[in-house]
A and B are shown apart, each in its own frame.
Chain A
Amino acid sequence: MSGELLEVEGLHAGYGPVNVLEDVSLTVGEGETVALLGANGAGKTTTLRAICGMVKPRGSVRIGGRDVAKQSTERIVRLGVAHVPEGRGTFAPLTVEENLRLGAYSRRGKPSFKRAFELFPRLEERRDQQAGTLSGGEQQMLAIARALMLKPKLMLLDEPSLGLAPKLVRELFKTLRRIKEDEGTAMLIVEQNANLVLEFADAAHVLETGRVVLAGTADEVASDEKMRKAYLGY
């Protein structure tokens, strides 16, 4: 067995008769950060959804060596996979603290908010506020803090910078770097902001119409001629 945390091999998935993914393979090692790049509609979000069982995949998805392709989302979460969905998926009418509690739902015992509040002091101030009243940036903090409550081995982040002001985006990536360094959490990040994510990722995969067209270390991908023209803009 290799030491990979997440191994996706020959993954096909789609919605009804529409196939979105064709034979996608990728791996994420323990503590590794992998970026998933590509244009709109390339299948990035679907890849994340297939990994956590929100769409039924064909092919193999292994987490820590266990085949989870047929498992329910709840089971996969219990293996330590936290998905921060596009649009954040916060529970708007519930309070910030309740949202965080829900992040630790599949863990036993009393949840500790210490780390979440350390990384995002803003959330502690707004602890008793309804999540729906937070600003966009604060909601994104909450979504990531909630994912951390699981003490995940692997975080799936879907466009974490979407809709955030440039200053907030930089702060967000700084925080993700802290999480990577201190917690050693592996991450699979879907991101439009290719420049930023390639600075911080170890490896990257580029999807085009449901296929991986380029894969390698972040540096390799960043220096690829075609990639630079298409996504990095120089």
Chain B
Amino acid sequence: MERFVETVIDGIATGSIYGALALALVLIYRSTGIVNFAQGEMAMFSTFGAWALTQAGLPIGLAVLLTLAASLLGGMIIERALIRPVEGSPELTLVTVTLGLFILINGLARWIWGSQNRGFPSMFGDGNVTVAGVSTSLESLGLVAVLLGVVGVLWLVFQKTKLGLGMRAAAVNPAASRLVGIPVGRMLMFGWGLAAVCGALAGVLVAPRLFLDPGLMGPVIIYSFAAATLGGFDSPFGAVLGGWIIGVAEALAGGYVDFIGQDLKILVPLAVILSVLLVRPHGLFGSPEVARA
């Protein structure tokens, strides 16, 4: 029983990372209808930035904060420079642009930092807590806390501030938004910035568990796509819950189903994506697309 609970908690912790990156995907999809395939690479690049700052002698906490601020700016610049010119283009164009961005950022990281593995320090130390025979790492608890914090902040921004109201309006109806004086372009830019911040958080949270190299986010983005698909691509709440479900499913499948083990568990998210698309294409909390005949 303890082992089961520990596995589930571990799954929720890992799932929080998927949730953070899925949240980034959802933020961009909701406001611009773009599926950003480069989200993981943007996160990886941010994580390298944080790593470089720690190498320069900064404490990890400060390095992460600076990285998040830089990511906000970076996301906004990417939107303005690369996405705005193709705004409103057919989907194939948009997919091509984000795939190009994926390759560009990945290549840039390899060129700057090389392909070797590097260790990345954890923000939460390596202590353990044991409650009623169930032992969890501080890191796992920290991951869940950070994700809940992010969700809380995003909720406050979107529901309680004028900026957030403007962003929601711009996502729902850009034409009408302009008519009430909302600078729609700036809202989209800010949306990309916020998404980059969520992604950067996912990166610095996952890096201590793996090794930091330019391929860092490859597996993570697949789990995050599964999480966003499961939760519904336009639902932030769904992205988080989807992340947790995927994390737990992955942990349980890896721990209990013999033939899956560590090597095959990447199939879990793919199976989830496929079954969701077949059974409930808009996910658990997404809004189904309705078109009038």
Which residues from chain A sit less than 8 Å from chain B, CB to CB?
52, 54, 72-74, 77-78, 82-83, 85, 89-94, 98, 101-103, 105-106, 146, 150
Chain A at the B interface: mostly helix, strand, loop or mixed?
A: loop
Do B183 and A85 touch across chains, with their CB atoms under 8 A apart? no
The reply to whether the CB of B151 lies closer than 8 angstroms to some CB of chain A is no
Distance of A78 Cα from B180 Cα, bound (Å)? 9
Q: Hey, which chain A residues are within 8 Å of B179, CB to CB? A: 52, 54, 73, 77, 82-83, 85, 89
The reply to whether the CB of B243 lies closer than 8 angstroms to some CB of chain A is no
| B177 to A: closest C-beta gap in Å | 8
Which of B166, B176, B180 counts the most A-chain CB atoms under 10 A from its CB?
Answer: B180
User: Can you give 26 A-B contacts (C-beta < 8 A)?
Assistant: A54-B178, A54-B179, A73-B181, A74-B182, A74-B183, A77-B179, A77-B180, A77-B181, A78-B181, A83-B179, A85-B179, A89-B173, A89-B179, A90-B176, A91-B173, A92-B172, A92-B173, A93-B172, A94-B169, A98-B168, A101-B162, A102-B166, A103-B180, A105-B162, A105-B180, A150-B180
- Given A54-B178, A83-B179, A89-B176, 5 more A-B residue pairs with CB atoms under 8 Å apart are A73-B179, A82-B179, A92-B173, A105-B169, A105-B180
Do B180 and A102 touch across chains, with their CB atoms under 8 A apart? yes
Distance of A54 Cα from B177 Cα, bound (Å)? 12
The reply to whether the CB of B62 lies closer than 8 angstroms to some CB of chain A is no
| A102 to B: closest C-beta gap in Å | 5
Q: Hey, which chain A residues are within 8 Å of B182, CB to CB? A: 74, 102, 105-106
The reply to whether the CB of B175 lies closer than 8 angstroms to some CB of chain A is yes
Q: Hey, which chain B residues are within 8 Å of A52, CB to CB? A: 179
Do A85 and B165 touch across chains, with their CB atoms under 8 A apart? no
Q: Hey, which chain A residues are within 8 Å of B183, CB to CB? A: 74
Q: Hey, which chain B residues are within 8 Å of A101, CB to CB? A: 162, 165
Do A106 and B175 touch across chains, with their CB atoms under 8 A apart? no
Do A74 and B181 touch across chains, with their CB atoms under 8 A apart? yes
Distance of A102 Cα from B164 Cα, bound (Å)? 11
Do A91 and B169 touch across chains, with their CB atoms under 8 A apart? yes
Number of residues from B at the complex interface, CB < 8 A: 16
Do A91 and B162 touch across chains, with their CB atoms under 8 A apart? no
Which of A74, A82, A101, A146 counts the most B-chain CB atoms under 10 A from its CB?
Answer: A74
Q: Hey, which chain A residues are within 8 Å of B162, CB to CB? A: 101, 105
Which 9 A-B pairs rank lowest in CB-CB distance, beginning with the nearest? A106-B181, A77-B181, A89-B176, A73-B178, A83-B179, A102-B180, A74-B181, A105-B180, A91-B172
Do A105 and B166 touch across chains, with their CB atoms under 8 A apart? yes
Distance of A105 Cα from B187 Cα, bound (Å)? 13
Distance of A37 Cα from B191 Cα, bound (Å)? 41
List B133-190 residues whose CB lies under 8 Å from chain A: 162, 165-166, 168-169, 172-173, 175-183
Distance of A72 Cα from B179 Cα, bound (Å)? 10
Q: Hey, which chain A residues are within 8 Å of B168, CB to CB? A: 91, 94, 98
Q: Hey, which chain A residues are within 8 Å of B165, CB to CB? A: 94, 98, 101-102, 105
Q: Hey, which chain B residues are within 8 Å of A77, CB to CB? A: 178-181
Asked if A105 meets B181 with Cβ closer than 8 Å, knowing A91-B169, A93-B172, the reply is yes
Distance of A54 Cα from B180 Cα, bound (Å)? 12
Q: Hey, which chain A residues are within 8 Å of B169, CB to CB? A: 91, 94, 98, 102, 105
Distance of A54 Cα from B176 Cα, bound (Å)? 10
Asked if A74 meets B176 with Cβ closer than 8 Å, knowing A91-B169, A94-B168, A102-B169, the reply is no
Distance of A105 Cα from B182 Cα, bound (Å)? 7
Do A74 and B172 touch across chains, with their CB atoms under 8 A apart? no
Q: Hey, which chain A residues are within 8 Å of B172, CB to CB? A: 91-94
Distance of A93 Cα from B287 Cα, bound (Å)? 11
Distance of A85 Cα from B175 Cα, bound (Å)? 10
| A88 to B: closest C-beta gap in Å | 9
Distance of A52 Cα from B181 Cα, bound (Å)? 11
| A84 to B: closest C-beta gap in Å | 8
Q: Hey, which chain B residues are within 8 Å of A89, CB to CB? A: 173, 175-176, 179
Do A74 and B178 touch across chains, with their CB atoms under 8 A apart? yes
Q: Hey, which chain B residues are within 8 Å of A92, CB to CB? A: 172-173
| A77 to B: closest C-beta gap in Å | 4
Q: Hey, which chain B residues are within 8 Å of A98, CB to CB? A: 165, 168-169
Distance of A83 Cα from B176 Cα, bound (Å)? 9
Q: Hey, which chain A residues are within 8 Å of B166, CB to CB? A: 102, 105
List B98-151 residues whose CB lies under 8 Å from chain A: none
Distance of A184 Cα from B141 Cα, bound (Å)? 61
Distance of A73 Cα from B181 Cα, bound (Å)? 7
